[in-house]
Amino acid sequence: MKKKILSLLLIGWPALLMLAQQTMRPDSTDQTRYLTRTTMYGVGFTNVFDTYLSPQEYKGVDFRIARESMRMTRLMGGNVSQQIFFQADLGYTHNRVDNNNTFSGLVNWNYALHYNFRLTPQFKLLAGGMADLNGGFVYNLRNGNNPAQARAYINVGASGMAIWDLRINHRPLTLRYQLNLPLAGIMFMPNYGQSYYEIFTLGHWDGVVNFTSLHNQPSLRQLLTADLQLGRTTLRLAYLWDAQQAKVNEIKTHTHSHVFMVGVVKHLYLIK
């Protein structure tokens, strides 16, 4: 009896092993399970202007971290990709006569869906919509009554990309240009001359939550990336031009940033 059981195990073991390998093997046709994830760090130049705090522009340095993930979905026959982009920046700036400084910071979370138009095997265009959440602050070191200004706004808008795969000296290189344009949203902004004490303590909320569109929030984010294959590592070099500006409640604000970033791209397979 023991010999029969041993023989069955010896005969059945290879079959069971092959079945397990087939079960665990990734389905190469399911593109929705493949995910690219990138974390980037950067530094650059920023220009901050907020008439609630000061009539002067402040210029200085911008430190930024960004994290992106992209994958295909099953929407519209598998031609729609999903992008989640998170970034946070901290700026330290000074005015023209260099007698005052500000700190500024902004956290941005972006969710977008793009339809992929594959024009050639190496080149494709992506177009779609996005949701854009932003929160941050500007702190003026010398102001007394109103030393800080909050930044809080939500947008929906249009997003597009151009992606080009090519080779240089037999090395893969992927170039991408992306543009995000907010079209409509809601922004928190105090009335001109109104203090935060009036809003949060006295409850004077009239007019501080405002509708925004291109007429009073003409903003734009542009991103250019280059993915270089170095052995088993994919290095990403990026340039971000981030122009956030608005004129709401007679208060003008803008933050214009030029940031150079570097990071590593990870190609992952999702196990469901």
What range does the domain containing 51 cover?
Answer: 34-269
C-alpha 66/C-alpha 41 separation (Å) is 7
4 part of a folded domain:
no
pLDDT in tens, the chain (272 residues): 444 433 433 444 444 344 444 433 445 557 788 899 999 999 999 999 999 999 999 999 999 999 999 999 999 999 999 999 999 999 999 999 989 999 999 999 999 999 999 999 999 999 999 999 999 999 999 877 779 999 999 999 999 999 999 998 888 999 999 999 999 999 999 999 899 999 999 999 999 999 999 999 999 999 999 999 888 899 999 999 999 999 999 999 999 999 999 999 998 887 76
Q: pLDDT at position 145, please?
A: 73
Q: pLDDT at position 81, please?
A: 97
172 part of a folded domain:
yes
Q: pLDDT at position 9, please?
A: 37
C-alpha 218/C-alpha 243 separation (Å) is 9
pTM for the full predicted model: 0.85
Q: pLDDT at position 15, please?
A: 45
Q: H/E/C letters for each residue in 181-227? A: EEEEEEEECCCCCCCHHHHHCCCCCCCCEEEEECCCCCCEEEEEEEE
185 part of a folded domain:
yes
Number of domains forming the structure of the chain:
1
| Nearest of 185, 181, 255, 184 to residue 219 by alpha carbon | 181
16 part of a folded domain:
no
Q: pLDDT at position 270, please?
A: 77
23 part of a folded domain:
no
2 part of a folded domain:
no
Q: pLDDT at position 6, please?
A: 39
Contacts of 116 (CB under 8 A, 6+ apart): 72, 79, 80, 81, 124, 125, 126
223 part of a folded domain:
yes
3 part of a folded domain:
no
Is residue 25 packed enough to be buried (19+ CB in 10 Å), middle (13-18) or exposed (0-12)? exposed
C-alpha 198/C-alpha 270 separation (Å) is 50
Q: pLDDT at position 171, please?
A: 87
C-alpha 32/C-alpha 80 separation (Å) is 10
Residue 197 belongs to domain with CATH number: 2.40.128.100
